[in-house]
Amino acid sequence: MSKILSRQDLNFLLYEWLDAVALTSRERFADHSRETFDAALDTSEKMAEQYFAPHNKKSDANEPYFDGEHVHLIPEIKIAVDEFSRAGLMAAQHDYALDGMQLPTTIASACMAYFMGANVATAGYPFLTIGNANLLLAHGTPQQIDTYVRPLLLGRFMGTMCLSEPQAGSSLSDIKTRALLQPDGTYRITGNKMWISGGEHDLTDNIIHLVLAKIAAPDGKTIPGVKGISLFIVPKKLVNDDGSLGERNDVILAGLNHKMGYRGTTNCLLNFGEGKFKPAGKSGAVGYLVGVPHKGLSCMFTMMNEARIGVGMGATMLGYTGYLHALDYARNRPQGRHPKAKDPSSPQLPIIEHTDVRRMLLAQKAYVEGALALNLYCAKLIDEEKTAADETARKDITLLLDILTPIAKSWPSQWCLEANNLAIQVHGGYGYTRDYNVEQFYRDNRLNPIHEGTHGIQGLDLLGRKVVMQDGAAFKQLGRVIQQTIDAGLAASHADLKRCAALLADYVRRISVVTGTLHSAGDLNKTLANATTYLEAFGHIVMAWIWLEQSLAAAKNISAVQGDFYQGKFQACRYFYIYELPKVSVMIDLLSCLDTTTLEMQGNWF
């Protein structure tokens, strides 16, 4: 059995719950079938096992290093990335016109899950490249698409996103990177970018940086705040009109960041316009405007939102593979006896027979299988949004995706990290050693609550923007969809499902009330003071809905042949409602009080 991802669970989610095959009735996916979907998944599983998983520990132990001229990676990374590209997976969900497969995002995401679970650091290179290409497809000119997107999807080029700066961090309004318009319509970019994953390597012929910068007026001034931000293509090497590579652009690596985990992905400080390279005899990195001036952040959100959901999937898969490793260990590690069987001459039990170990495994199962379901649900929303029959349906789906995005990023990042914590605990002292994989999974996963918007930023986004945008339209749309699940649960013959549906209805009502309370405070600082608590309460309610959805699908499809699998789904749902959902009551009580303890705390009191 694979210790990356349970194919039985994946098949259940894709085909029994989400009915991914129904997507083939839509024109875009008409050439596909269950057979083509399975072939893509089979290929991904095999390649992940063969090319990605074997060097996961090696790339962690031998992180990239910079000799002053070049970045050095272990050779297995390039082999894996090349095989990924050669299989056509870089363009899996893209148009036939771009040599893609036109796979649904639902299936492409499931394929990518295998690579993230096998080796999240190596998977980071194609992950970023696909997002880079998607942004340019959405906002680039036909020439930019031909020049950059096609090589990106072939794996000849790789891509990055360059947002943060050393002095600005997540506060993008404070970026200082500048762009100066040139007579030929290009721009010269100067500045520094920090935390750039995949920012320098020799895996491909070229690296295409998407860079946020502010266009300088002739007097050198820029528009303050995020409204002055524009977006630019800044290639490591300039591309000639015929597609061949030209001069080296004026962008260089200043240094590598040395990370706790996720080590196989280079993470860089890049200098633009330092003058080491002078394209056309002039310092300044050559950049090409994407979209229109001063609208760069809205363009970049195309990649950022995709990356947020992708980060959630990465967090999920690290938790998922950790769970499967812990499950395998628990089944094979003999230790101890039951409390009432103390005869020292009797055989020891596999530790899975101990109640507390089953508790830890059940918690992991609830976290990781729930998170994967949420990630794939969001992927299907992307497919439905892209192929919706009418504009009204598309708007409703977009609203649902908007409000779920911060949850899809933050909930797996928090709770699948906890699954990794529990996986170490199941292994006991062995889990804390580098001889077993689970300690690396934890270190790798610790990044996910940080990058693509910290946990706290997701809370501010959810409470400050998403639940109130368009007069609460997204919040109401999610409520309608959850209510459909509640109604189905209340109508079910399964007693546990009825009980869960009634509980979920009560928590949905309570989160709705407290949302109104928070936004009637009359003081935005007070409203947002406990935004992270709101995020966590909201996320647990969403996950309770996802687990009820899974259980309803299990009840519909249960068979004697796979009885144990479905019983496992019911028990994980039961666990979540008994052990996890009650935590929301304490959070809602806190939110209802409009507590200002943290808001009123003073820096000099620490």
Cα–Cα distance for residue pair 152/130, rounded to 1 Å: 7
Cα–Cα distance for residue pair 292/3, rounded to 1 Å: 47
Tokens at residue 507, please?
Answer: 């928590």
Label the pairing between strands 65-66 and 237-239. unpaired
Cα–Cα distance for residue pair 491/126, rounded to 1 Å: 45
Tokens at residue 196, please?
Answer: 């750039």
Q: Which long-range contacts (CB under 8 A, 24 or more apart) does 361-364 make?
A: 361/323, 361/326, 361/327, 361/330, 361/422, 361/426, 362/571, 362/572, 362/575, 363/418, 363/419, 363/422, 363/575, 363/579, 364/319, 364/322, 364/323, 364/326, 364/419, 364/422, 364/423
Asked if 269 and 170 touch (Cβ cutoff 8 Å), the reply is no
Residue 285's φ and ψ, nearest 5 degrees, are: -75, 130
Among the listed residues 469, 549, 544, the one whose alpha carbon sits nearest the alpha carbon of residue 511: 544
Among the listed residues 532, 547, 529, 548, the one whose alpha carbon sits nearest the alpha carbon of residue 594: 529
Give residue for tokens 């892209």.
386
Helix axes 391-427 and 296-332, enclosed angle (nearest 10): 40
Asked if 336 and 351 touch (Cβ cutoff 8 Å), the reply is yes
Element (H, E) at 309: helix 296-332
Asked if 309 and 408 touch (Cβ cutoff 8 Å), the reply is yes
SS3 content of the chain, % helix, strand, coil (to 5): 60, 10, 25
Chain centroid, CA 99 distance in Å: 25
Among the listed residues 51, 445, 87, 70, the one whose alpha carbon sits nearest the alpha carbon of residue 266: 70
Q: Look up 452 and say whether it is catalytic.
A: yes
Active-site pick, 63, 452, 549, 580: 452
**SS3 (DSSP) at 91:** helix
Kindly write down the DSSP assignment for every residue of 346-409, as one continuous string.
SPPPBGGGSHHHHHHHHHHHHHHHHHHHHHHHHHHHHHHHHH-SSHHHHHHHHHHHHHHHHHHH
Give residue for tokens 């003058």.
275
Which residues, 6+ apart, have CB-to-CB distance to 12 below 8 Å?
Answer: 550, 553, 554, 557, 565, 569
Which residues, 6+ apart, have CB-to-CB distance to 560 below 8 Å?
Answer: none
What sign does the CA torsion over 161, 166, 169, 174 have? negative
Asked if 335 and 131 touch (Cβ cutoff 8 Å), the reply is no
Q: Which amino acid is at 170?
A: S
Q: Which amino acid is at 166?
A: P
How many C-beta atoms lie closer than 10 Å to residue 564's C-beta?
7
Active site residue ranges: 452
